[in-house]
């Protein structure tokens, strides 16, 4: 495995492997089993896997946790090596955003609801850094986790709108044994908060159970989820949206929809979602 920190070295190295299918897993580090699932998916479909580790400052708001975001590069590097990653790309902020950088990518309507309504500028930063990383790596396939559902939608739209020759694959959310969605931010939770955080997935899965039993009214499904969310400190949203447009889903549900939630437990903001697919109980695969 190679660890590379500059764009020039990355391009030089990848130029020697252009006859191979390149898979790309963009991360902000502090890797967990969710990231490992993305790497595994890439290795199953690609000849060479690149993992980027970069805590992107432009997607954090002024009061958010950029300085406190968990970092452990040596641990991440070891995990990547053991997982069979070919290249770890770990640029610093000056390499990604050189002096006098001023060109940003502005996403559209997909970025305005859900998390976008509470984190102004977040998806502008996400779209910009992902586009830059795509240009740096030039992968054939890029892998993202379903937990970041809105991010996946924004990235898929960007790839289509900008004619980027990259396939986007969304990998199902990886969960702890008690169903808490894996996240690097889970480490912020103390023992008591960790238990209360389970209210989020508990509410989503309760609503999904009713959906599988035949309930198709969005308002009722949301109300069922809300019954379990009293334990969080601040609920930002619990919504059912169309899986493609992210617009509020219409009742009765006849098309794939995403049940999405964001809440604070203590000072930690957590997100989660489940896909509701009326046509079948089979897992919904998100594709371009």
Instruction: Give the active site residues.
Output: 35
The three-class DSSP label of residue 240 is: strand
Query: What tokens were used for 135?
Result: 């240009």
- Please state, in angstroms and rounded to a whole number, the distance separating the CA atoms of residues 262 and 184: 15
Residue 266 and residue 188 in contact, taking contact as beta carbons nearer than 8 Å: yes
Instruction: Using alpha carbons, list the distances in angstroms from residue 88 to 74, 94, 145, 169.
Output: 11, 18, 18, 20
Distance, CA of 113 to CA of 55 (rounded, Å): 23
Whether the CA torsion 53, 190, 67, 181 is positive or negative: it is positive
Pairing status of strand 2-4 against strand 22-27: unpaired
CA distance 206 to 238: 13
Q: How many CB atoms lie within 10 A of CB 198?
A: 16
Which tokens in the block code for residue 32? Answer: 């967990």
Beta strand ranges found along the chain (DSSP E) = 2-4, 22-27, 48-53, 87-89, 141-145, 167-171, 234-242, 257-265, 268-276
Nearest to 256 by CA among 265, 246, 264: 246
Exposed (0-12), middle (13-18) or buried (19+): which is 67, by Cβ within 10 Å? exposed
């Amino acid at each position: 495995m190679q660890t590379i920190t500059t764009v020039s070295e990355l391009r030089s190295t990848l130029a020697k492997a252009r006859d191979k299918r390149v898979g790309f897993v963009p991360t902000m580090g502090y890797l967990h089993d969710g990231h490992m699932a993305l790497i595994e998916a890439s290795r199953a479909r690609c000849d060479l896997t690149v993992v980027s580790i970069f805590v992107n400052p432009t997607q954090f708001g002024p009061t958010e946790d950029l300085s406190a975001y968990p970092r452990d590069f040596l641990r991440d590097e070891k995990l990547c090596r053991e997982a069979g990653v070919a290249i770890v790309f770990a640029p610093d902020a000056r390499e990604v955003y050189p002096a006098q950088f001023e060109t940003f990518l502005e996403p559209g309507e997909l970025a305005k609801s859900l998390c976008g309504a509470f984190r102004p500028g977040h998806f502008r930063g996400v779209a910009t850094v992902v586009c830059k990383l795509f240009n740096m790596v030039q992968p054939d396939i890029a892998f993202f986790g379903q937990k970041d559902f809105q991010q996946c939608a924004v990235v898929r739209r960007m790839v289509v709108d900008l004619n980027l020759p990259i396939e986007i694959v969304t990998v199902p959310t990886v969960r702890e044994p008690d169903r808490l969605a894996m996240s690097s931010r889970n480490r912020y939770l103390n023992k008591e908060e960790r238990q209360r955080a389970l209210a989020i997935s508990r509410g989503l899965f309760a609503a999904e159970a009713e959906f599988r039993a035949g309930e198709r009214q969005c308002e009722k499904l949301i109300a069922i989820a809300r019954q379990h969310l009293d334990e969080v400190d601040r609920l930002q949203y619990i919504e059912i949206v169309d899986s493609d447009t992210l617009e509020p889903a219409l009742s009765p549900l006849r098309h794939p929809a995403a049940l999405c939630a964001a809440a604070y437990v203590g000072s930690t903001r957590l997100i989660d979602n489940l896909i509701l697919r009326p046509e079948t109980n089979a897992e919904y695969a998100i594709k371009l």
